[in-house]
């Protein structure tokens, strides 16, 4: 995969900063323990520092490379003619990958545009990636989408639905994604939490072609305890 030209920021930057700070602190404690000849404690601190650094490296890799590689593979089945909707598109990491695979389709990004993921940044990223003519941006809540029924061929979402705090709100977002999909349309949702619940909602709507899989180490945000799952479904 080529290097991205847009500015996509860091996923959970405070968590990454905390890991780096924790690693530095543990390393300092290891040095102090070695200086005081407390060998067992020093080794424990050193191991903790290395483990925490590895977690930080994992999160940084996922943010900069891993998630783009995973989504690039997931979007390969696009033919180039689709209308694609990205729910909670943020700075456009997945939205613009989808747009790059389109010839005559469109890629619509929906977000509430909080300060860290402003619409202006996403537009600038679309320009940088050379797909601005294929991209549309809309302000809206994924629990109540401002689109007609069966408007899109593909609906995607990456690490967005779990930010809805209440279970009924997350279920509403999944139902809305299903509503705006055309028959035979593809739904791809990557998330770290609540994915089995999303699957349950879809099966309750009559979707039988639905599968859930672990996206592996390339989508870890620090380690296997922060893994990401992909839910893939086809609307009947």
Is residue 75 within 8 Å of residue 190, measured between CB atoms?
no
Q: How far apart are CA 89 and CA 94, in angstroms?
A: 7
Q: How far apart are CA 44 and CA 50, in angstroms?
A: 10
- Indicate if the pLDDT at residue 114 is higher than 80: no
Q: How far apart are CA 200 and CA 42, in angstroms?
A: 48
Taking only the tens place, the pLDDT of each residue in 21-33 is 999 999 999 999 9
- Per the structure block, which two tokens stand in for 63? 């943010």
Q: How far apart are CA 70 and CA 219, in angstroms?
A: 8
Most confident option among 26-40, 48-62, 189-203: 189-203
Q: In this predicted structure, what is the pLDDT of residue 1?
A: 63
- Indicate if the pLDDT at residue 113 is higher than 90: no
Q: How far apart are CA 96 and CA 108, in angstroms?
A: 10
- Indicate if the pLDDT at residue 189 is higher than 90: yes
pLDDT interval class at 117 (50, 70, 90): low
Q: Give me the mean pLDDT over the 30-47 stretch.
A: 93
Strand partners, 187: 155, 233
Q: What is the pTM of this model?
A: 0.91
Is residue 77 within 8 Å of residue 102, measured between CB atoms?
no
- Indicate if the pLDDT at residue 185 is higher than 80: yes
- Per the structure block, which two tokens stand in for 186? 């593809």
Strand partners, 138: 110
Q: Give me the mean pLDDT over the 43-49 stretch.
A: 94
Q: In this predicted structure, what is the pLDDT of residue 13?
A: 81
What mean pLDDT is reported for the chain? 94
Taking only the tens place, the pLDDT of each residue in 70-94 is 999 999 999 999 999 999 999 999 9
Strand partners, 214: 229
- Indicate if the pLDDT at residue 109 is higher than 70: yes
Which of 6-20, 139-153, 171-185, 212-226 has the lowest average pLDDT?
6-20
């Amino acid at each position: 995969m080529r290097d991205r030209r847009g500015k996509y920021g860091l996923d959970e930057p405070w968590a990454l900063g905390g890991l780096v700070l924790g690693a530095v602190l543990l390393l300092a404690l290891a040095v102090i323990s070695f200086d005081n000849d407390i060998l067992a404690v020093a080794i424990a601190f050193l191991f903790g520092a290395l483990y925490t650094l590895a977690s930080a490296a994992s999160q940084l890799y996922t943010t900069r490379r891993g998630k783009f590689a995973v989504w690039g593979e997931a979007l390969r089945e696009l033919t180039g003619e689709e209308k694609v909707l990205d729910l909670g598109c943020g700075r456009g990491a997945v939205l613009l990958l989808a747009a790059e695979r389109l010839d005559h389709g469109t890629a619509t990004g929906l977000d509430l545009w909080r300060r860290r993921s402003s619409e202006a940044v996403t537009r600038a990223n679309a320009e940088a990636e050379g797909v601005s003519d294929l991209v549309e941006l809309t302000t809206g809540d994924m629990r109540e989408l401002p689109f007609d029924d069966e408007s899109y061929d593909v609906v995607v979402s990456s690490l967005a639905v779990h930010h809805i705090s209440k279970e009924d709100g997350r279920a509403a977002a999944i139902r809305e994604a299903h509503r705006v999909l055309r028959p035979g349309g593809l739904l791809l949702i990557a998330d770290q939490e609540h994915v089995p619940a999303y699957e349950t909602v879809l099966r309750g709507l009559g979707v039988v072609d639905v599968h859930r899989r672990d996206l592996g180490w390339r989508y870890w945000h620090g380690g296997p305890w922060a893994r990401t799952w992909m839910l893939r479904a086809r609307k009947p």
